[in-house]
Amino acid sequence: MARVSKVAYKLDLPKELSQIHNTFHISQFRKCVAEDSTIVPLEDIHVDDCLNSVERPVAILDRKTNTPRKKEVPLVKFQWPHQKSSEWTWESEAEMRENYPELFVVKDFENEL
């Protein structure tokens, strides 16, 4: 909509995003050449009471153990929704197990036959 200062712009946001402050620092902008696969529908965006974006991991992709200072720290690589594979992250297994226990449930398919 308008330039507020040398480093800030006011944007015209859709009404679905009316809870978000509409003035942004230029450091928040990135050049984007969008492909259809990178467009995230507004229905898929969830925000908490503090207006932080909330995403739940989709799947566990890999496991490894990091050993800083002779202490073993199990890590798990998570696939996140709406992100490219280069943006998937290694997280502490203990922390993620506490926050997302449903991803760590081992299913027993033997008894279902």
Domain ranges for the chain, please list them: 1-54, 55-106
Strand partners, 60: 78
What are the percentages of helix, strand and coil residues in the chain, rounded to 5? 30, 30, 40
Judge whether residue 100 has pLDDT over 80.
yes
Note the pTM of the prediction, 2 decimals: 0.51
Exposed/middle/buried for 102, CB within 10 Å: 0-12, 13-18, 19+? exposed
In CATH, the architecture of 55-106 is: Beta Barrel (2.40)
Q: Which residue type, as a one-letter code, is found at position 4?
A: V
User: Average model confidence (pLDDT) for the chain?
Assistant: 80
Average pLDDT over residues 55-78: 86
| CA atoms of 12 and 33, how far apart (whole Å) | 20
Give the pLDDT score at 97: 86
Judge whether residue 108 has pLDDT over 60.
no
Q: DSSP assignment, residue 79? A: E
pLDDT tens digit sequence for 2-21: 888 988 999 888 887 888 88
Cβ atoms 60, 76 nearer than 8 A: yes
The residue ranking higher by pLDDT, 81 or 107, is 81
